[in-house]
Structure formats: structure tokens, C-alpha cells
A and B are shown apart, each in its own frame.
Chain A
Amino acid sequence: MSKTKKSTIGHYEILFIMPNKFTEDEAKTIIGNVEKVIADNGGQISYREYWGKKKLAYEIKHNAYGYYSLCEFDLEKNSLAAIDQNLRLSTDVLRHQIVIKKAKSEAELAKDKKINAKIEAKKAVEEKEAKDKSKKQAEASESPKKPAVKKERPTDMKDLDEKLEGILSAKDLI
């Protein structure tokens, strides 16, 4: 209930877009600036990802393309607003979005691993079953055809010969 019990540090993730008017190198310096803003406010960056130039789903301020960059950091909750404001005012960043990212504990990760292993095992079993089924079906569909074809032809010929002979002989008799 008390405020002191809760930890005031949260784990966040920021994704921001830089306009296309900059070159790739300039975009990278802007990323450096953004990271500096985060660091200045007491944030600790734990993960970076640069997506590069991407086409935007719709134009933002007449920009059809933009450079995307992703960053994860730990920060005190109070100083989040400062970063948000700073980025909103800057003209180098077209748009940004800060999202709370849940950091997984070791127990949760272990649980995930167990579940994933189970899922994989299940999938493997299902695949095997599907393969066996298709094999059986293939065998079932192949097996009756081949002997049937082989058997029918010779018997047919023999039967026909016999019938013909029979008919011919019968006609002669009459």
C-alpha cells in the first residue's frame, strides 16, 4: 500500500522514427542524442536495435520513409515525462513511443522453456502421425491398384479367347 514498498524503477522500451531528410550517418548521431537524453535523466540502456530505413504505412509530415530505432532502458518513473517531453519537442524525431516492457524473471523464463519444449514435443508427435497417415494412405491407394491391373489383363485375354473360340465353334456346329 505504501509508496516506499514499490520500486520506482521501471523497464521501458522506446521506438522512434527519424525523418528521411537525414542521411544514415546523421540518423545514427540522432540515435546517440536520444540515448544521451535517456542517460542524462538517469536511465540505463540495456538493449539497442537499429531497424534502418523503412517505408512508413502512411505519410507523417510528408515523409514516406523513416529510420526506425529501438531501445530498452531502466528508468525512474518520475523522469519518464521529461524524456517524453524532450523527444516531443525535438524536430529530429518524427514520432516516438515509450512502452512499459515486462522484464521476465528467471522462474518465468524457466517456465517458458518447459512449455516451449512441451509444445515442440507435441508438434513432433503430430508430424510423425501425419507422416504415418500419409504413408499408410499412399500404401493403401497403391496396393489394390497394381495387382488388380496385373490380374485383370491376362484373365481378360484368356476369357476372351475362350469365349471367341466357344462362339466360333458353336457357329460352326449350327
Chain B
Amino acid sequence: MNKQKTKECYFCVNNLEVDYKDTRTLRRFINFYMKILPGKRTGVCAWHQRKLATAIKRSRVMALISATHK
């Protein structure tokens, strides 16, 4: 059965830019183990998924997001 709803890219729909300082929105695209979730699951388009990945890595460097769960 096709359980999945049709998902839209969060950044395209709301006309937002991916920002590495905005940890609250970045947190939506990371799982419990602090891993970056695939775009297939979150619905983020490929163009924004690339920006998102670099943004998450940048915020990890600046200790805004931890790289691992405790």
C-alpha cells in the first residue's frame, strides 16, 4: 500500500534559505543519532538537500549541534 503522503520541500514551499545558525529547523532533518536524514524521507528537494548537508556540518563544527548522541 502507498502509505506515504506527497511531500514537498520545506525550504521551497516556505521560500526559506538554509542557515547553519538556525539549529531549530536543522534539527528537523536530523535523527535521534544526529545523523542527516535522507531527502527521500524528509521530502527536501535535491538542491536544498545539498545546502542542508553543508549547513548541518557547519553547525557541527561550531558546536551548535552535536555530531553524536550522548
Contact = CB atoms under 8 A, between A and B. Distances in A.
Contact of A95 (B14, B20, B63): B63
Contacts of A66: 63
A15 interface: yes
Interface string B13-30: 111000011000000000
B21 A58 contact: no
A95 B61 CA distance: 9
Interface stretch (A1-9, A20-28, A111-119, A147-155): A111-119
Interface in B6-52: 13-15, 20-21
A17 B58 contact: no
- Interface residues of A toward B: which range? 10 to 19
B66 A58 contact: yes
A15 B66 contact: no
Given A70-B21, A97-B58, A99-B58, A115 B63 contact: no
A57 interface: yes
B15 A58 contact: no
A58 B34 CA distance: 13
Q: Which of A15, A56, A70, A116 has the most CB of B within 10 A?
A: A15
A58 B67 contact: yes
A16 to B, nearest CB: 9
Interface of B: 13-15, 20-21, 58, 60-67
Given A17-B62, A112-B15, 19 more contacts: A15-B21, A15-B62, A17-B63, A57-B63, A57-B64, A57-B67, A58-B63, A58-B66, A60-B63, A70-B21, A95-B61, A95-B62, A95-B63, A97-B58, A97-B62, A116-B15, A119-B13, A119-B14, A119-B15
Interface of A: 15, 17, 56-58, 60, 66, 70, 95, 97, 99, 112, 115-116, 119
List 7 A-B pairs, minimum CB-CB distance, nearest first: A57-B66, A56-B63, A57-B63, A115-B15, A58-B66, A97-B62, A57-B65
